[in-house]
Amino acid sequence: MSGNSEETRVYYEAAAKLLAENKYEEALEQLEQVISRDPDDAIAYSNKAMILLPLQRYEEALVACEQAIKINPDDAITYVNKSAALMHMRRYEEVITACDRAAQLDPNAATNDPGVYINKYLALLILGREVEAAQLYDVIQQYPHIRDRLLRLLLSMMKGEAAFKRL
């Protein structure tokens, strides 16, 4: 929070509460209040992007990430959010770049946020870069929480593909 006012804090807390209740639109409104009061609050833009993702508003999420990066180019979480938006937009080379930047800025980002490894792994596979994907999977194996999440995601994708083939 760059604006440390009590009012800004109240909006952040309201947004967090609404987000926990999966009330994304309402949480977004609270963050818009923060941004209107402090347009240089990079965290608000990054959080806005995070909320726009489950709403499937990927272009807007990317714009919010770019705004956050313009204000604070050193926030790893913003690059994780950016990689998620780019993944949904099928901009795979940029996904890899965003994931690499997140890991460069915060070496713990990859282990703290599974999206760093998962998004990069999927992008590498989609781009046909199997050797790099296999090398990354060897790293992922060291982190059971990331490996398990990736395997659940891949299983879900396979089930969806099988259901589609039955149509």
Model confidence pLDDT, tens digit, residues 36-80: 999 999 999 999 999 999 999 999 999 999 999 999 999 999 999
Give the model's pLDDT for residue 1. Answer: 46
Give the model's pLDDT for residue 163. Answer: 54
| CATH 3.30.450.20 applies to domain 6-166 | no
- Report how far apart, in Å, the C-alpha atoms of 2 and of each of 8, 12, 32, 103 are: 9, 12, 14, 23
pTM (predicted TM-score): 0.88
Mean pLDDT for the stretch of residues 163-167:
55
Cα–Cα dist 124/118, whole Å: 10
Average pLDDT, the chain: 92
- Report how far apart, in Å, the C-alpha atoms of 66 and of each of 15, 29, 118, 119, 133 are: 21, 19, 21, 18, 27
Domain ranges for the chain, please list them: 6-166
Angle, nearest 10°, between helix axes 24-37 and 6-20? 160
